[in-house]
Amino acid sequence: MKMSKLFVQTLREFPSDAEVISHKMLVRAGYIRKLTSGVYNYLPLMWRVLRKVETIVREEMDKAGAQELLMPFVQPKELWEESGRWEVYGKELMRLRDRHNREMCLGPTHEEIITAIARDGLKSYKQMPVNLYQIQSKFRDEVRPRFGLLRGREFIMKDAYSFDTSQEGLEKEYENMAQAYTKIFKRCGLNTKMVQSDSGAIGGSVSHEFMVITDTDAGENDVFYCDKCDYSANSNHAISKLPEANTVGSWTKSEIVDTPNTHTIEELCDYLNISASQIVKTLVYIIDKKPVLALIRGDKQIEETKLLNAVGGIEIRIATAGEIIEMLEVNGFNAEPGFIGPMGLKEYNGYQITVVADETVKDLKNFVIGVNQKDKHGVGYNFNSELQLPEIVTDLRLVEAGEFCPVCGQPLKVTRGIEVGNIFQLGTKYSAPMNAVYLDQNGKTQPYVMGCYGIGISRTAAAAVEAHYDENGIKWPLAIAPYHAIVIPVSTKDEQQMKVAEDIYKTLKKHGVEAVIDDRDERPGVKFKDADLIGFPYRITVGKGIADGVVEFKVRETCEISNITPEQAAEIVVTAVSNLK
């Protein structure tokens, strides 16, 4: 490919609306252009990268025994009603109507469709196990599509679905997929960590995520991990052992005491001269419009996904101060947010108030708690005495670094991660409600035991940029780079330089290297800048050195430069590329 013909427009500056590295780089280097919020054009360079990621995914999925198909992007409401998700999926599901007023949606994922396909064709235990996958655009009306390809509204996903006759069969396929995923990400030049996770809207019980560990802002997930054993989990799933803490108050009887101006836990601790671990803290959430109070030890935080799961909700937000005051008022209290407690709060906005507690509160004795009176708190309180322990007591706690590994007891560490793929054991979550069954050996109907396995193709490409860049641009891993190498004649007017450059270019192409020759009549500085920004893994510059028989060879990843012969340069690149296979 001639640089003069390549359809690419690099920009002088990073786009002003981009927050994360991959978004900035991919726009500036001419890979993507925004069409509308969260929706991007994949320009020729990007499309080459995406196709390479797809090829790696296809090769490994096929090797693992899965079969590719393609399902429609538009899906009918009826199937989503069968699974029960039409009502519960929330605003991420883009719903629309056709000219006959039939309701449809843009596929955010394809469990319903694949289950219907299986129901139609997988009738006997003899046909299983089977794993079907597709690579396709998905649409999710994400609330904040602000990270470029990392979180688009339209994005490309590989989604696979397995059908088995038993839990053991499912577990075997789950392990098979875990291994395929490890190979896929490694081939893409990414180091990933497989971590336990919450299964969210997809459902099911066991799930793992593949995380690209990154210290950039793009890591949307906190990953807790242990160096000593191999425990690692997304924050929405992580658990920990807590260090010793003082959870017993010194009061010998319960009473209500003055605590003026103690709006925060810290102020309350200072005023009463206690530690936060002796307080039961009450947080107010609105979950799917319904009021929920979450109780937790004063020094700990609520993990919102855990709370959502505890009450079976979909959308969660913390209540505003105004809502809390109103909630207190309608239940007969004249107080302020800092003094709220669960006692006597019955209903709000036409809903009963649900109270749930984190397990930490069970250890507290003679504790301090809000009693819905301004400038006062209850002290020396106990559960099953001054108040009842809520019906739901479960793990709602956000793990913090420094707490201890639940498996081996060593201090846990925390890092940020980008989720590039995940695997779920669905069981019969879709097959049972959709009546998707087969005949077993005894001629009895049974629902399929299913698994599902996703990889964000476009997110993986963006994550590769997050993991491989410097201030000058992208450093693509060779396997997914749009082109492997660029050959730059310093002066296109110099016949000898042009001749050597063209010879190298031809040699590379002949040996299967995807190369670009920068034939533009530009200053060398401009050519070098573009080469670095676009991120060609290898740069071969033909300049004055050619009089001594050498070219300049640059490895983008390490930025190492050496002067070697044209033959040596070509050989390094040809060897590296043939090793990819």
Q: How far is CA 142 from the centre of its chain?
A: 13
**At closest approach, how far in Å is the CB of 420 from ligand ATP?**
5
**At closest approach, how far in Å is the CB of 183 from ligand ATP?**
17
- How far apart CA 524 and CA 537 sit, in angstroms, is 18
Amino acid at 250: S
* Cβ count within 10 A of residue 442: 7
Angle between helical axes of 566-579 and 495-510 (0-180°, round to 10): 20
Residues 6+ apart with CB under 8 A from 230: none
**At closest approach, how far in Å is the CB of 153 from ligand ATP?**
7
| Residue 234, strand partner residues | 223
- Kindly tell me which of 110 and 468 has the beta carbon lying closer to ligand ATP: 110
DSSP state of 314: S
**At closest approach, how far in Å is the CB of 223 from ligand ATP?**
13
- How far apart CA 362 and CA 381 sit, in angstroms, is 12
**At closest approach, how far in Å is the CB of 478 from ligand ATP?**
22
Residue listed under structure tokens 């990953």: 223
**At closest approach, how far in Å is the CB of 456 from ligand ATP?**
2
- Kindly tell me which of 140 and 297 has the beta carbon lying closer to ligand ATP: 140
Q: How far is CA 154 from the centre of its chain?
A: 15
Residue 186, token pair as written in the block:
């490694």
**At closest approach, how far in Å is the CB of 277 from ligand ATP?**
32
- How far apart CA 73 and CA 109 sit, in angstroms, is 9
Exposure string over 128-156, b if 16+ CB within 10 A, otherwise e: bbbbbbbbbebbbbbeebebbbbbbbbbb
Number of H helices, E strands in the chain: 13, 33
- Kindly tell me which of 202 and 311 has the beta carbon lying closer to ligand ATP: 202
**At closest approach, how far in Å is the CB of 150 from ligand ATP?**
6
Angle between helical axes of 44-63 and 457-467 (0-180°, round to 10): 110
**At closest approach, how far in Å is the CB of 53 from ligand ATP?**
11
- How far apart CA 300 and CA 355 sit, in angstroms, is 17
**CA-closest candidate to residue 460, choices 236, 156, 42, 91:** 156
- Kindly tell me which of 42 and 438 has the beta carbon lying closer to ligand ATP: 42
How many residues belong to the chain? 581
Residues 6+ apart with CB under 8 A from 471: none
**At closest approach, how far in Å is the CB of 360 from ligand ATP?**
26
Residues 6+ apart with CB under 8 A from 151: 38, 142, 144, 145, 220, 459
- Kindly tell me which of 160 and 328 has the beta carbon lying closer to ligand ATP: 160
Residues of this chain that bind ligand ATP (CB under 6 A): 109, 140, 142, 151-152, 155, 157, 200, 202, 419-422, 454, 456, 458-459
Q: Give the helix/strand (H/E) hosting 265.
A: helix 265-272
Angle between helical axes of 167-187 and 44-63 (0-180°, round to 10): 140
- Kindly tell me which of 137 and 491 has the beta carbon lying closer to ligand ATP: 137
- Kindly tell me which of 173 and 419 has the beta carbon lying closer to ligand ATP: 419
- How far apart CA 483 and CA 398 sit, in angstroms, is 44
Cβ-closest residue to ligand ATP? 456
- Kindly tell me which of 50 and 345 has the beta carbon lying closer to ligand ATP: 50
- Kindly tell me which of 212 and 343 has the beta carbon lying closer to ligand ATP: 212
**At closest approach, how far in Å is the CB of 251 from ligand ATP?**
44
Question: ∠ at Cα 339 (333, 345), nearest 5°?
Answer: 45
- Kindly tell me which of 281 and 459 has the beta carbon lying closer to ligand ATP: 459
**At closest approach, how far in Å is the CB of 156 from ligand ATP?**
8
Residue 438, token pair as written in the block:
């087969």
Residue 554, token pair as written in the block:
């640059």
**CA-closest candidate to residue 285, choices 356, 333, 335:** 356
- Kindly tell me which of 17 and 440 has the beta carbon lying closer to ligand ATP: 17
Omega cis (within 30) before 129: yes
- Kindly tell me which of 54 and 142 has the beta carbon lying closer to ligand ATP: 142
- Kindly tell me which of 109 and 360 has the beta carbon lying closer to ligand ATP: 109
**At closest approach, how far in Å is the CB of 295 from ligand ATP?**
27
